[in-house]
Amino acid sequence: MTKEEKGRRIREGVKAVIEQVLEEEMTEHLAAGYRERTPSRRGERNGYYTRDLITPAGRIAQLRVPRDREGTFLTGVFERYKRMTGEVAVCLGLGVQSGPGWLGSSPARVAW
């Protein structure tokens, strides 16, 4: 198994875990499971939207994020409108503070 294949499989696993956590958060937010009708239910699901998220494991593409009809669901997994997790933002912030030399002499440094 190549390094790229391992990375891809790790990202797939991270994506599956994040999507499961998002589903559990939505169930808690609505106080009811999918298609469950209870007197304590606080709203209805309204499908999904997709977004990309940059994590320490790499870029997670097409992450399915559930939404509710009222638009009140906010996840604790990532901040609204953020495209990277806090750990990645901290690393990038440290790099900016340290200057461009932290990237080394790789071709990525030129693109940065």
Split at pLDDT 50, 70, 90, the class of 101 is very low
Neighbours of 23 (CB within 10 A): 17
- 66 φ/ψ sector (left φ>0, alpha ψ -120 to 50, else beta): beta
pLDDT in tens, 49-69: 999 998 888 899 999 999 999
* Whole-prediction pTM: 0.72
Backbone angles phi, psi at 92, to 5 degrees: -65, -40
User: Residue ranges of the domains in the chain?
Assistant: 3-84
Per-residue pLDDT tens for 3-38? 999 999 999 999 999 999 999 999 999 998 877 888
User: Are 89 and 53 a contacting pair, CB within 8 Å?
Assistant: no
